[in-house]
Structure 1
């Protein structure tokens, strides 16, 4: 028996596309879908993978990253599955890809209008920490009643003196729905605001799809006296590339015990290193 293009059967792909269109039409709204079984466990990116498999075409160029790396186990396995069932071209360069699947990061290179970014989402409900009932959270979204999300942030300020959410920081989409932007660091939240590309978010275990269409207003929740702030890396320098002002990983040298920083987006770092090498070669 021959393998179906992009693994999923055509009926499943059509259903996911219809739900994706609804999510695009209502930015930030969680659209339920019939999450399919895949040869990876739920919780390991099945929501994002189903979006990728339903949208990818033979002419697409695929990029898969996991926490900023193209070569992590999760990224390699997902990329292999998509390639083995589609035969599409792959790339590590963000600017070349037409379809990007990512876990935990929005690339440093800004998205273009022809690009789709698919984010893997473990928990799509931003109100789950304050309300366990799915029925009640639906009612709260319908009434635009988001005081629970603000109370959660307020409690952090009262306890710690500042907001402690470093990832999956809730955002208001198109002045209507509060959305959980997957566990991306809050450093990446501003990249969603009036972004030129299409951002899709899939939660396979929770069976939800939501979206941020191009040129959509996305604003992180905050208070007037405690404004939203991203992680500040301006005073940190990447040990490998000399970059600053990008999201970095804090590491420790096993031999010396020294703390150092490395650019998290590995393909972006390699591009900058190659550009520097070419400039030096031309001198």
Structure 2
């Protein structure tokens, strides 16, 4: 049952304004488009930017999936799903392949996204140059002049200090050979998934009032030096102790029964789908 007189919470004027910002962001990949961020029934910093995008583009025919750091059942993910469904009545799913809109915090799903799907990423800090330039008008000048020496210097200092780049998440990317962009705090493991993605990727920062995008089939390259190439987190030789998956982003856990280190798929729905698949294959074998 709807709890608001407007479909998807916002009035039509608000949704049109946000959609116009989205269209501009799609037309200029990686460029941060300012927008009038609305007040939401959740606190800023908890995904208001992504939620505003989702509420502005969702339709009655859409199927929604919401992820929070790989989990579909976290407090943040469940709360967002409840708000969207209460104001739209759309179908919810935990299966990546069944969804038309995926709103996510800190992860890109393990299952490759396809044409027609939209990934909405929640962003706390959209400006990749903020670490070394505090003034907004100066970062705009740096972007306009394509002066990203500060970003390269930041990576160089990490290499000098640690022997490698030390960005655990939100490693800056170069979009469409033009703009350096913050990919949101996704792990390095997920950066390559943005390159030539079949799905449209929209990024929203409610507190910072910015929307930006990576259109389908767009070149996205993680910043790296030729002699220190970009690398992702390695899980070589590791497998999920539940579904046996390899070559996916995993959480490192401690088995308290024996004190051993175990690994588990961070993408909980991916893990569950694999487990269900194994059960179906096993059942078919028994039947035969």
Q: Do both proteins adopt the same fold according to a TM-score greater than 0.5, normalized to the shorter chain?
A: yes
Write out aligned runs for 1:100-119 (5 A).
100-119=102-121
Partner of 2:154: 152
C-alpha displacement of 1:262: 0.4
* 1:8-67 Cα shifts (integer Å, max 9, x gaps): 111110000000000000000000000000000000000000000000000000000100
Q: Which consecutive segments of 4 or more residues in structure 1 shift more than 4 A?
A: none
SS of the counterpart of 2:202?
A: strand
SS of the counterpart of 1:7?
A: coil
Partner of 2:261: 259
Gaps in structure 2 of 5+ consecutive residues: none
C-alpha displacement of 1:253: 2.3
* 1:144-192 Cα shifts (integer Å, max 9, x gaps): 0001001001100000111110100000000000000000001000000
C-alpha displacement of 1:234: 2.5
Partner of 1:132: 134
Number of residue pairs matched by the alignment: 283
1:12 is matched with which residue: 2, 11, 14?
Answer: 14
| Alignment TM-score, normalising by the size of structure 2 | 0.97
1:53 is matched with which residue: 55, 65, 68?
Answer: 55
C-alpha displacement of 1:2: 5.0
Alpha-carbon distance in 2 for matches of 1:275, 1:253: 25
Alpha-carbon distance in 1 for matches of 2:98, 2:240: 24
Alpha-carbon distance in 1 for matches of 2:5, 2:256: 46
* 1:229-269 Cα shifts (integer Å, max 9, x gaps): 01111311111111111000111123433211100011111
Change beyond 3 A, Cα 1:262–1:139? same
| Alignment TM-score, normalising by the size of structure 1 | 0.98
SS of the counterpart of 1:199?
A: strand
Alignment partner of 1:86 is 2:93: no
* 1:169-217 Cα shifts (integer Å, max 9, x gaps): 0000000000000000010000000000000000000000000000000
Change beyond 3 A, Cα 1:2–1:280? closer
1:238 is matched with which residue: 234, 237, 240?
Answer: 240
1:171 is matched with which residue: 154, 169, 173?
Answer: 173
Alpha-carbon distance in 2 for matches of 1:134, 1:86: 36
Gaps in structure 1 of 5+ consecutive residues: none
Partner of 1:38: 40
